[in-house]
Amino acid sequence: MNRLTIVKIGGEVIDQPQRLSSCLQEFAAIRGDKILVHGGGKTASHVSEKMGLVPELINGRRVTDAATLKVVQMVYAGLLNKNIVAELQMLGCNALGMSGADANMILAEKRAASTIDYGFAGDVRKINSTLLEQLLKLGLVPVFCPLTHDGQNQFLNTNADTIAACVASALAGSFYVEAIFCFAKKGVLENENDENSVIAAMTRESFDSLLQKGIIKDGMIPKLENAFRALSNGVRKIHIIHADDLDKVKSGLASGTVLTLV
């Protein structure tokens, strides 16, 4: 079974050109089959403001109304995705930029409004894993932006962590899948105010315990729930690391958090 590495980079990487370039160099150097998923960063907010729109965030997540959706389509699938693809090509990595609509790769549905209405936010329903496998066999490196579609001409803004976890789950039956989530911390922290309090290893059981104690909270909850859902679907291992440590994962020198089921 071939190995597949799926790397997700967030807005804190996207927003810093030097850090992004370094991360892309490290990603390009990963051997074997690989997929990159990237977030949106603050660029969409800057563009929205220049167009006279007022970005709205709730709990750190963007509320995507019809006008904002047009902006994120331009920024995520256009500016950011194509710049990343071009830089990877320069590095000798044969990248193919994609949204969920391209080749009908990621079908989603609009999230039903509950206590909070995030607008055109999408929850993933299906990954076109057969076609994705064919692209990998051709030696292509898919690069997904955080946009999906519903198959009825409607784009949806979808969390990049969710996309990475769902893609990993969909391919776990055909590959030995390892996922790496890169963000601004060194890993999952036991004390959010202490950068060195990294939890080196976490199982589903220890996650539940940390959740009950209130150590895992806020934005880390959905991130880790996505990750453990992927592990339960056959993904072998998940790393949560600082973006600067991507090159250290394979050598075992990264100081992040390793997630396994048991």
- In this predicted structure, the answer to whether residue 60 has a pLDDT above a threshold of 70 is no
pLDDT for position 106 = 98
CATH superfamily, region 3-259: Acetylglutamate kinase-like (3.40.1160.10)
Predicted local distance difference test score (pLDDT) of residue 254 = 64
Please report, rounded to a whole number, the percentage of residues in the chain having pLDDT higher than 90.
69
What is the pLDDT at residue 116? 79
Q: Read off the pLDDT of residues 95-154 as tens digits, 9 standing for 90 and up.
A: 999 999 999 999 999 998 777 788 999 999 999 999 999 999 999 999 999 999 999 999
Q: pTM of the full predicted structure?
A: 0.94
Name the average pLDDT for the chain: 92
**What is the arithmetic mean of pLDDT over 67-85?**
96
CA–CA–CA angle 210, 111, 8 (5° rounding): 55
| Spatial distance between the Cα atoms of 81 and 79, rounded to a whole number of angstroms | 6
Strand-pair partners of 35? 6
User: Residue 14 burial (CB < 10 Å; 0-12/13-18/19+)?
Assistant: buried
Question: By CB neighbour count within 10 A (0-12 exposed, 13-18 middle, 19+ buried), where does 54 fall?
Answer: exposed
Q: Convert the pLDDT of each residue in 179-200 to its tens digit.
A: 999 988 888 998 888 888 999 9
pLDDT reading at 44 higher than 70: yes
Q: pLDDT category, 247, cuts 50, 70, 90? A: confident
Span 17-34, average pLDDT: 95
Count of residues in the chain: 262
Give the strand order in the sheet containing 147-149. 122-127, 106-110, 147-149, 155-157
Per the rule left: phi > 0, alpha: psi between -120 and 50, beta: everything else, 239 is beta
Whether the predicted pLDDT of 177 surpasses 90: yes
199-238: pLDDT as tens digits: 999 999 999 999 998 888 877 888 899 999 999 999 999 9
Band of residue 58 on the pLDDT scale cut at 50, 70, 90: confident
Distance CA 92, CA 86 (A): 10
Burial-class residue 77 by CB neighbours within 10 Å (0-12, 13-18, 19+).
buried
> What pLDDT is stored for residue 251 in this prediction?
67
Q: List the chain domain ranges.
A: 3-259
Mean pLDDT of 48-72: 83
